[in-house]
Structure 1
């Protein structure tokens, strides 16, 4: 697979610890979807981030609640060990095979390659190389959505982790349908509070935001090409 461009960004890890996301402050998706599938977390928890990421999540939620009192950021997923990343890549590959009516023992090499390209558009390669860690394995990335004051999940128009064009942040941007315009507004609200708190959003996933990792630096460089920052969070 071609290497994603953000993996060229150098890393100088600042040494911040992983810290637990406080359940009293944020909503969590429970049961955790990957744990429920049997993903091998061991003694790790998916609801951990780096200290600086937690500080910015708190800031994002404060911004949200100024606009919509009682609304909260809901954490779908955060820290992900390499073994979990591998598990989910393999699981997603299997799901796509099933959806296409194929089996791994009966697909041609070009079919396998095409499906892997679909998988890796949304999932990072589970690399153990310290120079190319998956974003979630650094403690810098979070998958998030919103819940309203009644504790109901806000409809974003597609579920987290859906492998389809509906996952693209601007998928509904040109729609004139009132319902789809509402999905668009919800995605914009989430992006607004997260970006104002210092995060950057994945170009293909409305739910994925990060701070301090390679992708974060690369996305900022797309806005300001003279930015020569390095990533402050590597694999952990």
Structure 2
């Protein structure tokens, strides 16, 4: 299951991101094989994985950097970074000039309880709700409750933030536990962010577009 956010306007930039031509998840073969095995394990427990982002071309990262430097563009602030001044996004580590996603073995994802409900489309200009609001108030996502939405620039997104308890904490630990057994390492600051180790291309930042033809025949 996938909801490739950067091909849409429902992300912190508020527009489709450079380099995302089709909503496809591209990963290195070892990462893809491990993710497939994680999906098999979760399906037996009544869950599915849902990916938000996989390989990210360098041109997309460059788009993020340009956006972060434009302090007048705060169109999506109310949902994705309500408590963070845009001028702090670099210093606080939310935006950087390089991303592990560009090496091809990092994935952003969540859990969906089956049977899955449909997720409605985001309508540009609609009223935005903070990404840390209660789940029934946030933008509707068919995932389980992780305590925040995806790409929430807030310390509540830290995987083990002590304010996240109960079913929200259990859901985060289920995702982390299953993926961890298969070689994925979680980024502690983002409950949704996992990198397969060892990475096949630890020092290479790719820039081919996200499209089926980019990997056709491989």
Please report the TM-score for the alignment, with normalisation by the length of structure 2: 0.66
Higher Rg: 1
**Which residue in the other structure is 1:148 paired with?**
113
Aligned length: 165
Structure 2 gaps, min length 5: 9-14, 79-84, 117-141, 207-218
Cα distance in 2 for partners of 1:65, 1:96 equals 44
Q: CA deviation at 1:92?
A: 4.8
**Which residue in the other structure is 1:139 paired with?**
104
Is structure 2 residue 2 aligned with structure 1 residue 28? yes
**Which residue in the other structure is 2:11 paired with?**
none
1:206 to 191, 201, 211: 191
Is structure 2 residue 95 aligned with structure 1 residue 123? yes
Cα distance in 1 for partners of 2:71, 2:146 equals 22
Q: CA deviation at 1:160?
A: 1.2
Q: Kindly tell me: are residues 114 and 47 of structure 1, through their superposed partners in 2, closer, same or farther at Cα, counting changes over 3 Å?
A: same
Q: CA deviation at 1:89?
A: 3.5
Q: Kindly tell me: are residues 191 and 46 of structure 1, through their superposed partners in 2, closer, same or farther at Cα, counting changes over 3 Å?
A: same
SS at match of 1:184: helix
Cα distance in 1 for partners of 2:17, 2:105 equals 20
2:158/2:188 contact within 8 Å kept: yes
2:172 to 187, 190, 200: 187
Q: Kindly tell me: are residues 116 and 144 of structure 1, through their superposed partners in 2, closer, same or farther at Cα, counting changes over 3 Å?
A: same
Instruction: Looking at secondary structure, tell me which structure has more helix per residue.
Output: 1
CA offset digits 1:200-235 (Å, max 9, x no partner)? 0012110000113xxxx6xxxxxxxxxxxxx53132
2:51 to 47, 60, 75: 75
Q: CA deviation at 1:96?
A: 9.2
Q: Kindly tell me: are residues 195 and 96 of structure 1, through their superposed partners in 2, closer, same or farther at Cα, counting changes over 3 Å?
A: farther
Please report the TM-score for the alignment, with normalisation by the length of structure 1: 0.62
Is structure 2 residue 208 aligned with structure 1 residue 232? no
Cα distance in 1 for partners of 2:152, 2:29 equals 29
Is structure 2 residue 160 aligned with structure 1 residue 165? no
**Which residue in the other structure is 2:129 paired with?**
none
1:187/1:206 contact within 8 Å kept: yes
Cα distance in 2 for partners of 1:60, 1:190 equals 9
CA offset digits 1:53-72 (Å, max 9, x no partner)? 11000111122233x23x11
2:34 to 56, 67, 73: 56
CA offset digits 1:49-96 (Å, max 9, x no partner)? 011111000111122233x23x11001000110010121233355579
**Which residue in the other structure is 2:62 paired with?**
86
1:196 to 177, 181, 190: 181
